[in-house]
Every structure is written in C-alpha cells, then in structure tokens.
C-alpha cells in the first residue's frame, strides 16, 4: 500500500538522501487536466474478489517491469556519479572551493556537502525527469505540469541540503576526533538521525509538499478512529492529503514516532476505494504501528548500518591512502565524502535483498493484522486487486524479482492470502462485512 518500511527508512536516511536528493518526498507526477485517476461515479468493489486471479495485462507488465529496471539503473547512475566526482578529481576541486569560502572545518564540511548535493542533483536530474515525470505522464498517473513537478524537486533539494549539511558536519567532527573508531560513532549517529527524521517527517517535511486536512465527519472517520483506539493507537484525528495534486496513485499510512503519529489517507484512495476496502487498508497500516514494525526494522537495519560503516572505513581508507592523485589527504577531509558514499551505497544495494525480505515479512504480518482487525477478507482481496488494476502493479511477479527487489509480497500472493483467510473462516462474498447489518 505504501512504500515498504525498507524504502521509507532508506529515503529518510541522510546517507542515501545525498544520492537520491530526497526524491521520495516529492511524488512522481502528468499533465494537468481532468483528475487522471478519479472515477466518474462512486467506487465499487472488484467483481468476484474470491474468484480466480486475473492475468496481468500488458500495461501492468510494462509499468511494473520498467520500475524494476529503473531501480537498478538508479543505483548504477548514482554510483557512477559518485565515482565520477571522486575519481576525476572534481571532488577535490569542490573541496578547494568550499575551503575558500569557509572559516573553519565545520563550515567547510557544510559547504562541501551542499556543493556535492547540488552536483548529484544536477547529474541525476535527467533520470529523475524520465522516471518521475515523463514515464508517469505516459502511463497517465501524473497530474502536475513540469514546472510544478520541478518545484517539488527544488523543495526536496533544499530539504536534502539542510539535513545532509547538519548530519555530515557532525559525522566529520567525529572522524577528526575519533580516528579509526569513527565508524562506530557514524553508525550510531545515522540511526539516531534516522529515528529523528522518521519522527519529524510527517509534521515538518511532508506538509512542505502537500496539504493535510482532517477527514470530514462521517461513518468512515468514526470507524477508522474506533479501530485505531481498539488497537491502542493514540489517534485523535484522521487526515486526508491532497495527493492527487501530484499523482493518481493511491496510498494510506500511519506515520510518525515519539508522539508525532498520524493516520493519513490519500484523497485518491477515498475517491477510488470503497469504505470497506479503505478500512482493510487502514487495518494493515495500523498493524505496522501495533506490531512495532518501524522500531523492529530500525533495529534490523542498524546491524547493516554498523557493518556498512565498518566496511566504509576499511575500503575507503585503502582507496584514499592508495590513490594520492585523488587529492584527498585523509579520510577526515570532506573530499572523501563521495568515496564514503560510493562504498556505503554499494553495500546497501547489495544488502537490499535481505532488507526487502525482512520488509516483506512485516508486510505479510500487517496484512494478517488488517484482516483480523476488520474480519473482511472479501474487501481485502478486492483492495489488492484494485491496487493492481489502478496502480498497474503486477499480480504475478517472478520469484527472483520479488526476492531481490520487492519490499512487499506480490499482489497476487496477497490476494490469495485474503482468499485463503476467507475459506478458513467460512466467509463468502455474500457474507456481510463486520459491523454491517445482515
């Protein structure tokens, strides 16, 4: 339903923000016009959600397969840019520029980070335009003009510059003070920063791109809040976000940490899905909260971050010391940043299948929680079918693709799980949904 916890964590992490220029905060987007994803009439359940799983149509396959390719290309593109900056000598040149304008080592790091972020943004812009605007426009999802899309990218760039300048200034201070033990502090700092980012993002960053309004009073709001309270979620409000300003993709989430939790529904979800389907979606998202999935994933990720920083220290140190022509005198110099990021980015990409597997396990647990909370597997199967039809997600994903690249179980497996749940509990398409009159 939403990007997996793995993706959310990586988007929030400042280490990866430098490579992605906070692209995750600015939604992909197509031309303005007659609300591309909005139905002309009230939404209905999918036909025969407990029946045979439909085949993928060509548009589903084309869109989904393109997404798989873009994920790999995005890593290769970012890695190539970092390698170019590091090994061409341009990174050392940027350090010289930063040093001329800075008064001290901290200012020098902050200015260098800003320059590298701008360089990465400029270098990745052609791929971002294709993947985030041109391609989304071709498949009929985007609702923005190119100027509006670029404006969101610009805001994301400013967020990235500020967050990364803060993070790397502290990190390089640790490198200067701790020497060869800096990687321990770096790993700990990254996880603290990640938790802070996940906590402030819903209330300070997301509103920079969209408007969040309380969901209007009605049965759906009442039911969602009642479900949240029954599951121990301290929610006093349900928010609707104007996601259709950017895209017709549908989504919902329970976000935030340390008291900033909020329940959010995309307006496109409200327009395209039935109240029964929406309640199952929200049950899934609440499952992430109740089952402590964010904290569990942070703990799981911390193991990889610790190992990653250890390898970054060892590999980067050998590169810097073995290539004096790069113009990087030591690891404590900000010019080493592209090398550090290249090594860490490569490690996290190679660790991606393990992170995705952990995420898929959590997503399946959240699916089960949502069905237990609503007792409506018919609406669950219908929602998964609708996500495939409207968002062009494949039902039938090759096992290797799912294992290597997917943070969620395939839509087909999620539909079948809901159908199995219905059979195990004696529920048919004619069975009234929980909380409705027979």
pLDDT digits (tens, 9 = 90+) for 131-151: 999 999 999 999 999 999 999
Q: Which carries the bigger pLDDT value, residue 326 or residue 420?
A: 420
> 38 lies in a domain?
no
pLDDT on residue 55: 94
Q: Answer whether residue 39 is part of any domain.
A: no
More confident residue, 348 or 24: 348
Give the angle subtended at the CA of 81 by the CAs of 78 and 87, to the nearest 5°.
135
Strand partners, 238: 263
Which residues 6+ apart lie within 8 Å of 276 measured at CB? 45, 374, 376, 378, 379, 382, 433
Mean per-residue pLDDT for 211-240? 88
User: What's the pLDDT at 238?
Assistant: 87
**401 lies in a domain?**
yes
232 lies in some domain: no
Confirm whether 218 is domain-assigned: no
Residue 279 lies in a domain: no
Residue 277, in any domain of the structure: no
- The answer to whether the beta carbons of residues 355 and 301 sit under 8 Å apart is yes
Return mean pLDDT, the chain. Answer: 86
pLDDT at 58 over 50: yes
Q: Would you say residue 304 has pLDDT above 80?
A: yes
Residue 69 structural domain: 5-32+49-209+293-424
Q: Which of 32-36, 77-81, 89-93, 297-301 is predicted least confidently?
A: 32-36
Number of domains in the chain: 1
**In this predicted model, which residue has the larger pLDDT, 1 or 30?**
1
Query: Given pLDDT bands bounded at 50, 70 and 90, which one contains residue 434?
Result: low
C-alpha pair distances (Å), 391 with each of 14, 240, 325: 29, 19, 49
pLDDT value, residue 231? 85
Scanning the structure block, which residue is given the tokens 């997996």? 4
How confident is the model over 161-193, as pLDDT tens digits? Answer: 999 999 999 999 999 999 889 999 999 999 999
Local confidence band at 257 (pLDDT 50, 70, 90 cut-offs)? confident
Residue 245 belongs to some domain of the structure: no
């Amino acid at each position: 339903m939403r990007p997996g916890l793995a993706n959310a964590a990586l988007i929030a992490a400042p280490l990866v923000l430098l490579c992605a220029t906070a692209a995750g905060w600015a939604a992909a987007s197509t031309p303005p016009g007659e609300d591309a994803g909005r139905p002309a009439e009230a939404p209905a359940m999918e036909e025969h959600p407990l029946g045979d799983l439909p085949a993928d149509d060509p548009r589903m396959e084309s869109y989904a397969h393109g997404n798989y390719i873009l994920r790999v290309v995005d890593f290769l593109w970012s890695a190539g840019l970092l390698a170019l900056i590091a090994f061409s000598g341009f990174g050392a040149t940027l350090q010289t520029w930063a040093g001329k304008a800075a008064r001290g080592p901290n200012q020098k790091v902050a200015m260098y980070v800003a320059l590298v972020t701008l360089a990465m943004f400029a270098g990745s812009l052609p791929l971002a335009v294709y993947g985030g605007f041109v391609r989304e426009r071709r498949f009929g999802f985007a609702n923005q003009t190119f100027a509006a899309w670029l404006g969101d990218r610009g805001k994301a760039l400013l967020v990235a510059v500020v967050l990364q300048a803060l993070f790397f200034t502290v990190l390089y201070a640790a490198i200067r003070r701790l020497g060869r033990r800096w990687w321990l502090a770096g790993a700990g700092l990254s996880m603290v920063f990640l938790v802070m980012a996940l906590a402030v993002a819903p209330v300070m960053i997301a509103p920079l791109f969209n408007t969040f309004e309380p969901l209007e009073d009605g049965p759906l709001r009442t039911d969602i809040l009642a479900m949240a309270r029954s599951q121990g979620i301290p929610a006093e409000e349900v928010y609707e976000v104007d996601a259709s300003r950017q895209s017709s993709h549908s989504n919902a989430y329970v976000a935030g940490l340390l008291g900033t939790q909020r329940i959010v529904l995309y307006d496109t979800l409200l327009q395209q899905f039935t109240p029964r389907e929406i309640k199952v979606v929200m049950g899934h998202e609440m499952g992430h909260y109740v089952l402590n999935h964010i904290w569990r994933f942070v703990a799981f990720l911390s193991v990889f971050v610790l190992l990653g920083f250890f390898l970054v220290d060892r590999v980067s140190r050998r590169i810097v010391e073995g290539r004096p022509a790069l113009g990087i005198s030591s690891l404590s110099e900000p010019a080493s940043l592209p090398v550090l990021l290249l090594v860490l980015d490569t490690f996290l990409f190679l660790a991606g299948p393990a992170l995705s597997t952990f995420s898929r396990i959590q997503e399946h647990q959240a699916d089960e929680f949502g069905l237990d909370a609503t007792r409506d597997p018919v609406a669950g199967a219908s929602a998964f079918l609708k996500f495939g039809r409207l968002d062009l997600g494949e039902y039938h994903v090759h096992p290797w693709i799912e294992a290597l690249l997917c943070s969620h179980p395939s839509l087909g497996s999620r539909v079948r799980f809901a159908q199995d749940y219905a059979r195990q509990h004696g529920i048919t398409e004619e069975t009234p949904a929980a909380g409705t009159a027979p």
